């Protein structure tokens, strides 16, 4: 586990602190001897560290063949050269983790950081960037129907982000279902996977994953933790949202929970990167992100490299959240034992269904609801009805059908228009706790 942390936290350090290197301009003009030296150094590092030695040899040979055929001669921009080498390496390996990076300033700064104080400065800068990103925790909230929602953009090392993770999981601990959104998560550290996963199981350690590390010729394992601060939720329904951009450690989280039958995956098949690793400086100007290990799931004895993780429910990424909410509320409603809980879940289930597929009501039919109902007013603009109570905010109305409407931005309240003799006579406000009040239409 320690080896895994060191390698992947190094990756995060490079990604977060130096991720803007590609956008820099450079007056440096690349020449052929520099190209050859870079290719040879890349080949040396690949052969020493890449998880599949025979593929490393084949990749290096491919670069040498391109060089001998003068296919790099016209490339004088160092960033373009890095991009082309990345494409050529991936053409052989099909490994999307592989990347050549031109970063002379950053490499020089690292190499020159020889004192403890200088190294501490670099580490402080990395930590500040992670803190600005809130260690990947973009949004934590409770959705309608008491569904917990976590938008996680990266699995940062728990050494740094553990306190934030604990706070997030405890905030969500009273939800009835949990949605973890990994649609924009590009990966990170198994440490954080281990911590978050531990909240989804009881205290008995669960085997999550295995790793083989080629440079050390060693195997490591990750298990859930026997202790976490706060409340565990081993029985809470869990839904994980995925997209084609879900990658690396984010895919591991999905793959682990899928094979442990602990979560329902909703969205798109993920990117397909299962080989963890880290950056290696190959010259004073170039570095390479090299996959040095491979994941070996204890249940499947394989991983998701090149294939991605397929969801249980396949929908477009932008539709995944609403679909997960529907699935969660349907599950909760079926499992509920008392009528109050059933009515609560049904209320929010109907609300989401309406938002996804609102009833079609013509403009002429909508206009018959316009008017004043005691302290309440219904107005219309651009084909949309709006509800306002006294001088309060205006809420757009979305038709449910049969004279019922939901309010955008006010989920616990709905409107039913009461008709008498083909005329709208009253407005009835319904609340998610089962209560209602009536306002007669003002003549």
pLDDT in tens, the chain (443 residues): 334 334 344 444 434 333 444 444 456 789 999 999 999 999 999 999 999 999 999 999 999 999 999 999 999 999 999 999 999 999 999 999 999 999 999 999 999 988 999 999 999 999 999 999 999 999 999 999 999 999 999 999 999 999 999 999 999 999 999 999 999 999 999 999 999 999 999 999 999 999 999 999 999 999 999 999 999 999 999 999 999 999 999 999 999 999 999 999 999 999 999 999 999 999 999 999 999 999 999 999 999 999 999 999 999 999 999 999 999 999 999 999 999 999 999 999 999 999 999 999 999 899 999 999 999 999 999 999 999 999 999 999 999 988 999 999 999 999 999 999 889 999 999 999 989 999 999 98
The number of residues in the chain equals: 443
Quote the strand ranges of 214-301, DSSP E. Answer: 218-223, 238-242, 264-267, 277-281, 286-291, 293-296
- Burial class of residue 420, CB neighbours in 10 A (0-12, 13-18, 19+): exposed
List the one residue out of 290, 370, 287 whose CA is nearest residue 56: 290
Distance CA 273, CA 290 (A): 12
CA distance 133 to 127: 10
Runs of H (alpha helix) within 69-189: 78-93, 104-112, 116-132, 158-171
Q: Which of 95, 55, 88 is nearest to 72 (CA)?
A: 88
């Amino acid at each position: 586990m320690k080896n895994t942390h060191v390698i992947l936290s190094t990756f995060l350090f490079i990604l977060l602190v130096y991720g803007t290197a590609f956008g820099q301009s450079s007056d440096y003009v690349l020449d052929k001897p520099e190209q050859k030296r870079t290719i040879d150094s890349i080949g040396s590092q690949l052969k020493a560290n890449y998880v599949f030695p025979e593929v490393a040899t084949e990749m290096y040979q491919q670069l040498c063949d391109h060089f001998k055929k003068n296919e790099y001669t016209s490339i004088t921009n160092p960033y373009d050269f890095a991009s082309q080498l990345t494409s050529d390496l991936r053409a052989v390996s099909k490994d999307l983790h592989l990347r050549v990076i031109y970063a002379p300033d950053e490499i020089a700064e690292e190499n020159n950081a020889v004192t403890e104080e200088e190294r501490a400065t670099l580490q402080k800068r990395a930590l500040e960037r992670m803190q600005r990103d809130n260690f990947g925790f973009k949004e934590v909230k409770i959705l309608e129907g008491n569904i917990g929602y976590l938008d996680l953009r990266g699995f940062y090392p728990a050494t740094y982000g553990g306190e934030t993770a604990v706070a997030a999981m405890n905030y969500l601990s009273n939800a009835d279902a949990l949605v973890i959104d990994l649609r924009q998560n590009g990966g990170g550290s198994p440490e954080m996977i281990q911590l978050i996963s531990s909240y989804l199981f009881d205290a008995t350690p669960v085997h999550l994953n295995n790793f083989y590390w080629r440079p050390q010729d060693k195997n490591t394992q990750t298990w859930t933790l026997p202790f976490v601060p706060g409340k565990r939720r081993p029985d809470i329904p869990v839904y994980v949202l995925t997209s084609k951009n879900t990658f690396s450690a984010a895919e591991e989280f999905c793959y682990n929970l899928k094979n442990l039958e602990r979560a329902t995956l909703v969205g798109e098949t993920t990117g397909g990167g299962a080989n963890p690793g880290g950056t290696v400086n190959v010259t004073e100007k170039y570095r390479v992100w090299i996959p040095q290990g491979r994941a070996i799931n204890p249940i499947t004895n394989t991983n998701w490299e090149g294939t991605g993780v397929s969801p249980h429910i396949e929908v477009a990424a932008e539709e995944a959240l609403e679909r997960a909410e529907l699935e969660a509320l349907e599950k909760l409603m079926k499992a509920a034992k008392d009528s109050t809980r059933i009515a609560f879940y049904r209320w929010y289930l109907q609300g989401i269904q309406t938002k996804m597929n609102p009833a079609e009501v013509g403009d002429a039919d909508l206009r018959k609801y316009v008017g004043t109902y005691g302290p309440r007013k219904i107005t219309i603009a651009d084909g949309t009805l709006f509800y306002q109570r006294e001088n309060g905010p205006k809420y757009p109305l979305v038709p449910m059908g049969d004279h019922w409407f939901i309010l955008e931005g006010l989920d616990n309240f709905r409107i039913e228009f009461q008709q008498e003799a083909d005329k709208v006579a009253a407005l009835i406000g319904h609340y998610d706790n089962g209560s209602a009040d009536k306002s007669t239409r003002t003549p």
